[in-house]
Amino acid sequence: MRTDTPVQIRLQDYRPSDFLIDRVDLDVRLAPHDTRITARLALRLNPAGRTGVPLVLDGDDLVLEGLELDGVPLAADAYAASPAGLTLHAPPQGPFELTIATRVDPTANTKLMGLYRSNGVYCTQCEADGFRRITYFLDRPDVMAVYTTRIEAERAEAPVLLGNGNPVEAGDVPGTGRHFSVWHDPHPKPAYLFALVGGALDRVAQDFTTMEGRAVAVAVYVEPGKAPRAAYALDAVIRSMAWDEATFGRAYDLDVFNVVAVSDFNMGAMENKGLNLFNDKYVLASPETATDGDYAAIERIIAHEYFHNWSGNRVTCRDWFQLCLKEGLTVFRDQEFCADMRSRAVHRIGEVRNLRARQFPEDAGPLRHPVRPGAYAEINNFYTATVYDKGAEIVRMLRTLIGADAFRAGMDRYFADNDGTAATVEDFLAAFAAVTGRDLTAFARWYERPGTPTLAVTRAYDAASRRCTLGFRQSLEAAGPPLVIPVALVP
C-alpha cells in the first residue's frame, strides 16, 4: 500500500512542451528477453516553450545502452539517466538529433504496457503512457512526430511483422535467420498511437477503395487456425470505412489497415495508427456459438477503433484531461454506426440502459468526476463510463441542440480546423459555435460539472384554449449555474 500522497496533475498547470520532436526513426530488434531499441529523434525548441531549460525525457523501467548527440557519444556529465527518465543538462538551442539505445525484456513485461509478449506474439500498448517503456521520449500527446520503424526478428519466431503506416521495405538479414520490415507513417502522431506486432499469425484480407480513390488493403490477423472466426470482424471494418465516408465524409488515409487480435490485452482494444490491436474476444466469433450480442459487440468495438482514425488520431488530444474529446466523440460515432446497422430504437434503449446501470451510479458515488476532470494522479483510472458514455451523451445533446445539419457542418469544421493537431474541448465547441453563430459557453458546463441532473417535467392542458403548457425544472446536487438541457418535441 502506498502511504505517500500521489502527485496530482492539474489541467490549470498545462504548459506546452519546451521541446518538440518532428521525426522518430526507430530500429527495434525483437528478442524474447533482450529486445534492443535504437531511437533517432529529431528535436528542436518549441517556439511556445521556454529556452535555456534542460531536456527531460520520460522513461519507465528502461535500461540505457547508448546515447549520442548529433552522432557523437555524450560525455557522462552531460546527462543523467535512470529507469524513469533521461535528462540532458544543456541541450543545443538549435535543432539536434538524439540517438538513444535502450534494452527491454518483453517476456517479463506483465504490466501489458509498452512492448510485451502475449502467447508468443510481440505486441505493444502505449496509451496512455506506455511508449516511455520502449524508449526515452517526450511522452505527451501534444508532441507529434512522423515515425519510420524498422522491425527485426527471428523469421521462425515472428514471420509476420507489422508497424504503423505503410510498409516500405522487407527482407532477410542474410546468414542470421532473421528478417525485417520497415514501416513509414506519414501522419504526425503522438507516441501513444505507436504500435508494432511480431508473431506467427494468420490473415484474412479484403480490399477497399475509398471515396477518394485510394486502394486500401484491409487485413485482420489472428492466432494460427483462427482465421475463419475473423470473417465478421473483417466485414465490420469494411462497413465502418464505408459508413464514415457516407455519414461524416471521413476517408481512410493509408494504403493498409491492419487489425491484430491478441489473447492478452488490458484495454478492450486500441486505435494505433493503421494498426489496431484487440483483445481477441472482440474479434473472434464462431457461427456455431456466437450470440447476437457477441456479434454486436465485435461490430461496435471494431467500428469504435476505426473511427478513432479521425476522432483521436488525425485530431488528437492536447493533454489527457481532454480524453473525452476523442472517447466521448468516438463512442457517439460508434453508437450512430450501430444504430444505422441495426434497429435504431432498440440500440438507443440499450445505450440508455447501459448509461443508467454504469454511469449514473458512478456519477452519484465517491468516484464521480467531471467528463473533463480538472486533476488526476493516475490517468489510467479515468477510462471511465463518465468520460466515455456521458462524454458521448454530451455530443448527442449538442446535436439535438443545434440540429443534425449544423452538427455535421460543425464536425466538418472541427476536422478541418484541427487536422494534424492536438486539440481541446474548447476547440471542439468552437467549431460548432463558428458554424451556428451560437454562444456555447453555457453548454460547456457539461464538461466541468459532475453528477446527474434531475429534470422534472409538468404538463398542463387547457381545454378551452387547446393549449398545452410544459414546465421544466432541473436540480443537481453539485452547486453551480444550470445546465443546458435540450428537449426535443417529437410530434
What is the contact surface with ligand SER in residues (CB under 6 A)? 127, 267-271, 304-305, 308, 327
**Coil, helix or strand at residue 55:** strand
CB of 269 to ligand SER, least distance (A): 6
**Coil, helix or strand at residue 78:** helix
Which is nearest to 388 in space by CA: 401, 374, 372, 402?
Answer: 372
* Choices 98-106, 204-212, 319-327, 446-454; region in contact with Zn ion by CB under 5 A: 319-327
Q: Say how far residue 275 (Cα) sits from the centre of its chain.
A: 12
d(CA 23, CA 143): 11
d(CA 38, CA 56): 18
Q: How many residues are there in the chain?
A: 491
Q: How many CA atoms lie within 13 A of 369 on its CB side?
A: 21
Q: Which is nearer to ligand SER, 241 or 269 (CB)?
A: 269
CB of 327 to ligand SER, least distance (A): 6
Residue ranges in 146-205 that form contacts with Zn ion under rule CB under 5 A: none
* Choices 2-10, 24-32, 229-237, 321-329; region in contact with Zn ion by CB under 5 A: 321-329
Residue ranges in 324-353 that form contacts with Zn ion under rule CB under 5 A: 327, 330
Report strand pairing: 178-189 vs 196-199.
Answer: unpaired
Q: Which of ligand SER, Zn ion, none sits in contact with 127, Cβ below 5 to 8 A by type?
A: ligand SER
Q: Which of ligand SER, Zn ion, none sits in contact with 270, Cβ below 5 to 8 A by type?
A: ligand SER
* Choices 33-41, 82-90, 320-328, 379-387; region in contact with Zn ion by CB under 5 A: 320-328
305 as an active site residue: the answer is yes
CB of 458 to ligand SER, least distance (A): 40
* Choices 18-26, 59-67, 323-331, 450-458; region in contact with Zn ion by CB under 5 A: 323-331
CB of 388 to ligand SER, least distance (A): 7
Active-site residue among 127, 223, 299, 305? Answer: 305
Residue 311 per-residue DSSP state = B
Residue 191 C-alpha cell reads as: 507516441
Q: Are 327 and 361 in contact (CB under 8 A)?
A: no
Q: Which is nearer to ligand SER, 109 or 313 (CB)?
A: 313
Which is nearest to 163 in space by CA: 153, 172, 176, 154?
Answer: 153
Q: Which is nearer to ligand SER, 79 or 306 (CB)?
A: 306
CB of 365 to Zn ion, least distance (A): 23
What residues contact 296, with CB distance under 8 A and at least 6 apart? 338, 342
Single-letter amino acid code for the residue at 346 = V
**Coil, helix or strand at residue 134:** coil
Q: Which is nearer to ligand SER, 308 or 372 (CB)?
A: 308
Q: Which is nearer to Zn ion, 20 or 301 (CB)?
A: 301
d(CA 76, CA 293): 58
Closest residue to ligand SER, Cβ-based?
A: 267
**Coil, helix or strand at residue 112:** coil
Q: Which is nearer to Zn ion, 161 or 338 (CB)?
A: 338
CB of 331 to Zn ion, least distance (A): 7
Q: Which of ligand SER, Zn ion, none sits in contact with 140, Cβ below 5 to 8 A by type?
A: none
d(CA 368, CA 444): 18
CB atoms within 10 A of CB 193: 26
Please give the positions annotated as active site: 305
Binding site for Zn ion (CB under 5 A): 327, 330
